Amino acid sequence: MKPVTIQKIIDLNRLFYQTFAVQFSATRQRLQPGVKCLIPRLLPTSSILDLGCGNGELARQLGKSLYTGSYVGLDFSAGLLDEIQKDPPAGLQSRFYQADLAQPGWEAAAQGKKFDVILAFAVLHHLPGSDLRREVLHQVRGLLSPGGVFMLSNWQFLSSKRLASRIQPWQKAGLTEAEVDSGDYLLDWRGGGTGLRYVHHFRVEELEELAAETSFVIQETFWSDGENGRMSLYQVWEPDKSSNGF
C-alpha cells in the first residue's frame, strides 16, 4: 500500500473517531464477553498498558474489581478521552494519554516503563498496511516486561450478514479497491449521523504470520461477542523466547 493511501485511511479514521466520539462512546457502555473472559486472568498487581482505551470503560470495570495494579490508557481520539473525564475511573491507579499508534514515537507515552500486560482490543484492525502493523507490534514487544503477555481482539464483521451489508465502495473515501490491501474494508456508521471508517478483516493465518514476523508466539485463540458469539477474534500472545525479537 502506498504511503499516500495509508495517510488517507489514517485521516479517515481520525475524522470518524473525533466526529462521532460521543455517539461511539454511547455504544461502548459495557465490556464485551471476550474481554470479560480475559479480565480474570490479570494478576491483581499487574501493570497494564491499554492501547486504544476508548472511553475508559475497561478502566472503570477494573476499578470496581480486586485489581490494584497500575493502568495506563492510550487513545488518539481527544473526543473519547474527554468522555473518560465525564465519568473517571474510581478505585484505580490510572493515567490516560493522547497517543496515535499510526505515528512514530507513540511509545514515549509509556515514559520508559515496561508492562506486565498490554491490551489492544479492537485496535489492530484500524491500522492500515502490514508494515505499520509490524512497526507497532515491535514496539509492543519492546514495552513488555519479562514474562509479559499481549492480549488483543479483532473485529470479525464478515461473520454477520447485517454488518457485511454495510460495506461501502472505496470510491466514497476517494480511493479504489486496487489501492488497498486484501482484507481491507470501508464500513459506514449510522448512529447520530453518517460516517465512514476503515477496518481490516484478519484471518487466523494472517495473525499467525504477523505474530511470527514480530517475534511473538500465539498462546490462545478464541471467538466471542455479538449476535453469534463469533464477532471478535481474541488472542493471547507471548514474546518468542527463542528469538532476539528484532
CATH classification code of 3-239: 3.40.50.150
Q: Is 209 left (phi over 0), alpha (psi -120 to 50) or beta?
A: alpha
Q: What would the pLDDT profile of 101-150 be if each residue is shown by its tens digit?
A: 999 999 999 988 999 999 999 999 999 999 999 999 999 999 999 999 99
* C-alpha span between 169 and 175 (Å, rounded): 9
Question: How far does CA 124 lie from the centroid of its chain?
Answer: 5
The angle formed by the CA atoms of residues 134, 231 and 124, to the nearest 5 degrees, is 15
* Pairwise CA distance, residues 135 & 85, whole Å: 31
| Under 8 Å between Cβ of 161 and 234 | no
pLDDT in tens, 164-203: 999 999 999 999 999 999 999 999 988 777 899 999 999 9
Q: Which three cell numbers stand for residue 208?
A: 499467525
| pLDDT interval class at 6 (50, 70, 90) | very high
pLDDT reading at 245 higher than 60: no
**pLDDT, position 244:** 59
Beta strand segments in the chain, E:
48-51, 70-75, 93-98, 115-121, 144-155, 167-168, 184-189, 195-200, 216-224, 232-239
